[in-house]
Amino acid sequence: MMTFEDDVAYFMSINAELAKEHKGKFVLIKDRRVVGIFSNIEDAHRDALKRFGVTDVVIESIGLDAPVNYMASAVS
């Protein structure tokens, strides 16, 4: 079973590659898989809740110096 930490490590390993085409956007990752790329955090969070319900996922800003970690586990 994948953990939140596994997904964060996966993001760190692919961030530079994602930034080539998606810098400044947000990526949604679950179980070491890119689920989607979004223009804003709200759309990423909404999609995470729709797909997975209340559970841990990684939503990160792509290619920025100060990444933003979000754990989408709140009820909408």
What is the tens place of the pLDDT at every residue in 21-31?
A: 999 999 999 99
Cβ neighbours of residue 56 closer than 8 Å, sequence gap 6 or more: 4, 7, 71, 72, 73
In angstroms, the Cα distances linking 38 to 2, 3, 27 are: 23, 22, 6
Classify residue 42: in a domain, yes or no.
yes
What confidence score (pLDDT) does residue 1 get?
Answer: 84
Classify residue 16: in a domain, yes or no.
yes
Classify residue 67: in a domain, yes or no.
yes
Q: pLDDT for 24-75, tens place per residue?
A: 999 999 999 999 999 999 999 999 999 999 999 999 999 976 555 555 544 4
**C-alpha–C-alpha distance, residues 61 and 11, integer Å:** 10
Classify residue 50: in a domain, yes or no.
yes
Classify residue 58: in a domain, yes or no.
yes
Residue 21: which domain range?
A: 4-71
Classify residue 27: in a domain, yes or no.
yes
Q: Give how many domains the chain has, as a whole number.
A: 1
Classify residue 56: in a domain, yes or no.
yes
Classify residue 76: in a domain, yes or no.
no
pTM of the model: 0.84
